[in-house]
């Protein structure tokens, strides 16, 4: 058998995969949330710097001048790992201070609603670096100057990126520790949950081969109780099967011991006689006893075949067959025997009767029914083998029949009642009927004999 995967490792592997996916999703979520929080915090600082610079803008002799105080850039000195750039433009968008090549805001950049200012925030690329820029408009309403001056302040993304990555790393670290703790807890929980199975395995392994007692349900989880109950049910069926086999072996040994002892006694008695005529009579009697023993042994083998066939049917080994055709074949095979005994054997089977079954067992069933009917029908009598719809088999004779008081027990093994024989013929019939889920019943014949009826489950889907 291939090596089965450990349930413990399988659960841990699946849980670890799930935790990795959750960690990645949470890490990405933490990164974007951290970046959003960093943008909000640093955008506010950018806007404050732009406002400070805008305060220093003043008109002088028809032009603008700006005084950029150090305070405008001071907030970044202690909180930024990047660089700061600024630019001041007049009402004609001409630079008057700062870096002249700071990128302008795109035309579709909306004005921010987060702050009470004429400001726009946007991201751009400047001197090979990603920067975040704020563009603040300052209205001018002087006699010789009416318009909007613009202040741009840009900051590189290193600080924002560092903050987002720090939040992501912290999240991943916490989730990693949580995941390791969860995996350890799961390992411990699974080990504890599987311990009853180990105890159950130990209990089963320690039992003797003939110990078929039910397994105890003590200290077994609720989820494992159906498994233990199923094992107990299987063990109980196995125990009954062993009991039946043991009883069968005991009965068979008893049935064989008596005729064998009689046969030996007859042979010894014949050997003591000095006359050849006595030897001849002894040999004839021994031949008859041997025939009876052979018949008994054949029926014992038939019972063994019935059990094997029943297992084959239970495992899906049933075949499609025509019961009428099977009856015709048996009738032809039994006709010479009926002729020798002076009995008329008739067959009534006009159309195919389809069912599913094991051909050897069904042939054995027909053989036993017809053989019993021939054995109990006197010379000059009649035996009818009848097959009719939907799937009914009948064997009727005009012999002595079976008393009503004995009809319930004739299907027991080795029960003879008031008749002579091995007591296995109808027992074999009953076993084969049970294997095919068929119903067998005994009725009075039309001429006072016995009619045996077997009702099968017809297969209506077959042609």
- Residue 255 binned pLDDT confidence (cut-offs 50, 70, 90): low
* Per-residue pLDDT band at 105 (split at 50, 70, 90): very high
* Mean predicted lDDT score pLDDT of the chain: 79
Domain over 225-312 is classified CATH 1.10.287.130: yes
What is the arithmetic mean of pLDDT over 382-400?
88
Model confidence over 189-199: pLDDT tens digits? 777 777 777 77
Instruction: For the beta carbon of residue 293, count every other beta carbon within 10 angstroms.
Output: 17
**pLDDT digit string (tens) for 304-363?**
666 666 666 666 667 888 888 988 998 898 898 889 899 999 988 878 888 888 888 888
Question: What pLDDT is stored for residue 151 in this prediction?
Answer: 92
- Of the candidate ranges 174-178, 308-312, 394-398, 440-444, the one whose mean pLDDT is the lowest: 308-312
User: 314-455 adopts what CATH topology?
Assistant: Heat Shock Protein 90 (3.30.565)
Whether the model clears a pTM of 0.75, i.e. scores above it, the answer is: no
Domain extent listing, the chain: 7-166, 225-312, 314-455
User: Can you give the three-state secondary structure of the chain, one letter per residue?
Assistant: CCCCCCHHHHHHHHHHHHHHHHHHHHHHHHHHHHHHHHHHHHHHHHHHHHHHHHHCEEEECCEEEECCCHHHCHHHCCCCCCCEEEEEECCCCCEEEECCCCCCCCCCCCCCCCCCCCEEEEEEEECCEEEEEEEEEEEEEECCEEEEEEEEEEEECHHHHHHHHHHHHHHHHHHHHHHHHHHHHHHHHHHHHHHHHHHHHHHHHCCCCCCCCCCCCCCCCCCCHHHHHHHHHHHHHHHHHHHHHHHHHHHHHHHHHHHHHHHHHHHHHHHHCCCHHHHHHHHHHHHHHHHHHHHHHHHHHHHHHHHHHHHHHHCCCCEEEEHHHHHHHHHHHHHHHHHHCCCEEEEECCCCCEEEECHHHHHHHHHHHHHHHHHCCCCCCEEEEEEECCCEEEEEECCCCCCHHHCCCCCCCCCCCCCCCCCCHHHHHHHHHHHCCCEEEEEECCCCCEEEEEECCCCCCCC
Predicted confidence (pLDDT) per residue in 256-285, tens digit: 666 677 677 767 767 677 766 776 777 777
Sign of the dihedral defined by the CA atoms of residues 34, 37, 40, 44, in that order: negative
Asked if pLDDT for residue 1 goes beyond 50, the answer is: no
As a whole number, mean pLDDT of residues 152-175 equals 82
* 414 confidence band (pLDDT: 50, 70, 90): low
Q: Which of 34-38, 54-58, 336-340 has the lowest mean pLDDT?
A: 34-38
From the CA atom positions of the chain, what is the Rg in Å? 51
Strand pairing of 382-388 and 344-348? Answer: parallel
How far is residue 396's CA from residue 448's CA, in Å, rounded to a whole number?
10
Worst-scoring range by mean pLDDT, 1-5, 121-125, 407-411? 1-5
Per-residue pLDDT band for 137 (boundaries 50, 70, 90) equals very high
The CA–CA distances, whole Å, from 272 to 97, 156, 280 equal 147, 128, 13
């Amino acid at each position: 058998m291939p090596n089965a995967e450990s349930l413990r490792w399988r659960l841990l592997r699946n849980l670890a995969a799930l935790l990795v996916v959750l960690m990645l999703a949470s890490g990405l979520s933490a990164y974007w949330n951290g970046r959003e929080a960093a943008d909000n915090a640093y955008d506010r600082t950018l806007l404050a710097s732009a406002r400070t610079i805008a305060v220093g803008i003043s008109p002088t002799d028809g032009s603008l001048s700006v005084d950029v105080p150090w305070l405008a850039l001071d907030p970044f000195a202690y909180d930024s790992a990047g660089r700061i750039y600024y630019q001041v433009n007049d009402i004609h968008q001409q630079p008057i201070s700062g870096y002249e090549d700071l990128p302008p805001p795109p035309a579709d950049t909306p004005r921010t609603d987060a702050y009470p200012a004429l400001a726009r925030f946007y991201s751009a690329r400047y001197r090979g670096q990603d920067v975040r820029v704020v563009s603040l408009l300052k209205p001018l309403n002087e006699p010789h100057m009416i318009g909007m001056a613009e202040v741009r302040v840009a900051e590189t993304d290193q600080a924002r990126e560092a903050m987002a990555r720090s939040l992501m790393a912290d999240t991943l670290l916490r989730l990693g520790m949580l995941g390791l703790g969860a995996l350890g807890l799961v390992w411990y929980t699974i080990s504890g949950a599987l311990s009853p199975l180990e105890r159950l395995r130990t209990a089963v392994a320690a039992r003797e081969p003939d110990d078929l007692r039910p397994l105890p349900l003590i200290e077994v989880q609720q989820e494992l109780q159906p498994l233990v109950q199923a094992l107990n049910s299987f063990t109980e069926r196995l125990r009954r099967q062993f009991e039946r086999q043991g009883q069968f072996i005991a009965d068979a040994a008893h049935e064989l011991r008596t005729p064998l002892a009689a046969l030996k006694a007859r042979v010894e008695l014949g050997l003591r006689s000095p006359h050849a005529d006595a030897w001849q009579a002894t040999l004839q009697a021994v031949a008859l006893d041997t025939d009876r023993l052979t018949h008994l042994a054949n029926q014992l083998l038939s019972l063994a075949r019935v059990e094997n066939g029943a297992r084959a049917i239970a495992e899906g080994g049933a075949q499609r067959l025509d019961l009428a055709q099977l009856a015709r074949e048996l009738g032809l095979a039994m006709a010479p025997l009926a002729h020798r005994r002076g009995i008329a054997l008739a067959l009534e089977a006009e159309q195919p009767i389809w069912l599913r079954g094991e051909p050897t067992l069904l042939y054995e069933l027909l053989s036993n029914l017809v053989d019993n009917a021939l054995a109990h029908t006197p010379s000059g009598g009649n035996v009818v083998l009848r097959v009719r719809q939907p799937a009914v088999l009948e064997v009727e004779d005009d012999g002595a029949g079976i008393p009503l008081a004995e009809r319930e027990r004739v299907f027991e093994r080795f029960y003879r009642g008031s008749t002579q024989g091995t007591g296995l013929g109808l027992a074999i019939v009953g076993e084969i009927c049970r294997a095919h889920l068929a119903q067998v019943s005994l009725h009075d014949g039309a001429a006072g004999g016995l009619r045996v009826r077997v009702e099968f489950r017809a297969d209506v889907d077959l042609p």
